[in-house]
A and B are shown apart, each in its own frame.
Chain A
Amino acid sequence: MDDFNSETDSDYTSYWRDWFISSRGNEYFCEIDEDYLTDRFNLTGLNGEVQYYQYALDLVTDVFDLDCDDEMRETIEKSARHLYGLVHARYIVTTRGLAKMLEKYKKADFGKCPRVMCEAHPLLPMGQADNPNAKAVKLYCARCEDIYNPKSSRHSAIDGAYFGTSFHNIIFQVYPALIPAKSYDRYVPRVFGFKVHAPAALIRWQHAERDEMRRRLRKLEIESGFKDDEGDVEAEDSEEEEEEEEADPEVFENGEAQGGQVGPVA
């Protein structure tokens, strides 16, 4: 934000969008096509949202030639960025926009999931609201289906409405091959190799939820998408899980096994 003044003074007359997407902090944005921007239909309703709408649009489309003082120019500049963001939210759910964002997703331009078990799966930007100035941008991980705060403060200031609440879900409907395999991998809190009762009980409950969902989906003959799904074994579900959990390479495996045996005897 601070350094844009110096750059815009020299550059604002040409290639505004190039400058915008390549400037620091705007790595999440893709470039909107000229055609899309100049089609008034795509901008329906934005003139009420953006101050100095026409000037801002001129600036974005590189036809801005108003002679004005610096203060005015800065206001227009700010409006232009806001306008670009709002159009961006609409553009990225179009075919071309999705394709551009897909390229960025493949390059992990939006960062990687901080959750250890997601093994650095690439993220997608999303908003929690479609109205501007409500919530900052968040990052969605398709593997754990959860949302995270951007690492860097320069990204956490971006308005979530510039990406919208739908884009990251639409992209997986348009490109179903991109849906990552879901995994059961999870962290189990332990003390000296032994599971802790309260979290372990919660984890058992969560796994029961998960198996119920899998059963529901199986009944409807819908693929659950878990990479470690065994398919049509129904009764063995719970046992399977237990094995899965015990199979971790544990230093304290013996201690744990003993703990399991002592329980029923006592």
Chain B
Amino acid sequence: MSSSSGTPESWISSFCSLLGHEYFAEISEDFIEDDFNLTGLQAQVAMYKEALEMILDVEPEDDDDEEEEEEEDEGDESIEGEEGAIRQRAVERRHHRMASDLSIIESSAEMLYGLIHQRFICSRAGIQQMSEKYELAHFGVCPRTNCEQVRTLPVGLSDVPGEDTVKLFCPSCLDVYVPPNSRFQTVDGAFFGRTFGALFLLTFPDYDISKRGAEVLGGDRSSRNLPDSQRTDDEKINGFNAHNLAPGLGQGKVYEPRIYGFRVSERARSGPRMGWLRNRPVDLHELDEATLHAAEHPDESDDGAEVESDPRQAGRRRQNGGSPMDVEANGETYA
């Protein structure tokens, strides 16, 4: 089926190397060839079959040959006629494809690839590939000054294509931004989907998300490994490592408007009103509602609250970093 092995560049890799497609991961052919992964897409994409063939670099003739073989197995009597008809159809189709349809198929293929991509990056192999891209800061950095250029993740605000373009999710301030370069304003947000950003944080809880994109590219590994190893037995709050829970927010990271050095009062008409958006409690334990509830009501035997205080449970959760998917990011260390 995969005739692409011989060709220098597959459709997928050429698509991913197009200008503006830097955020895309290369979907493995295995993933696309598994029909289960494509459930429901047939109805969403025009010329689905042709688009799928294009993505997989399958020549239409190949496809017809297969059909031929199948039909040969069924019966030998009318083989002459059928073969002729099939050949004619193949010729017609090839002729068809050379016409203006090609551009329609091309755009269909891009749509189909995007929709598969939305699913792929939420799979084990896909999210791992995206983690490699994240490590290299392929998705850019947060424009917010107090986030200090931490790396972002591409997300969509909708799972339905055609609604909005791709956005960048900053795990440090938990907000979404428009990519700085206008070439990304043609990339559909649905090709990344609403789930990927948050799922990434859940899958790789041990990434140091407060690391600056420039540092990663600078490649001074020695200085980075130390704090990482110190942090391994860091505590968890609500399933996140405490140091990874919105590190760009809170005291000192909230902009305070000042005039000639004096803070503008909240009581002024033009006073600050949005501080809450960039704030977080000084003591993050305030957010651990279940534990707080258990402490306040010790007599209530609520299972959910007691799970937190059970040391065995806590140990088990830590083993895989609290991730339900337990994927190793790029080998042994999280950058």
Contacts and interface: CB of A to CB of B under 8 A. Distances in A.
Contacts of A182: 273-274
Given A116-B178, A202-B246, A251-B160, A189 B201 contact: yes
A207 interface: yes
Interface stretch (B32-40, B215-223, B275-283): B275-283
Given A145-B255, A198-B238, A210-B276, A176 B287 contact: no
Among B159, B272, B287: residue with most chain A CB under 10 A: B287
A220 B280 CA distance: 25
A115 B246 CA distance: 16
A225 B273 CA distance: 8
Among B146, B195, B255, B258: residue with most chain A CB under 10 A: B255
Among B160, B194, B239, B249: residue with most chain A CB under 10 A: B194
B162 interface: no
Interface string B135-173: 000000001111001000000010110000001010000
B198 interface: yes
Contacts of A198: 237-240, 245, 287
A201 B280 contact: no
A257 interface: no
Contacts of A189: 169, 174, 197-198, 201
A224 interface: yes
B177 interface: yes
Contact of B145 (A149, A197, A205, A206): A149
B315 interface: no
Interface in A185-217: 186-187, 189-193, 196-199, 201-203, 205-207, 209-210, 213, 216-217
B143 to A, nearest CB: 4
Contacts of A187: 157, 169, 174-176
B203 to A, nearest CB: 10
A144 interface: yes
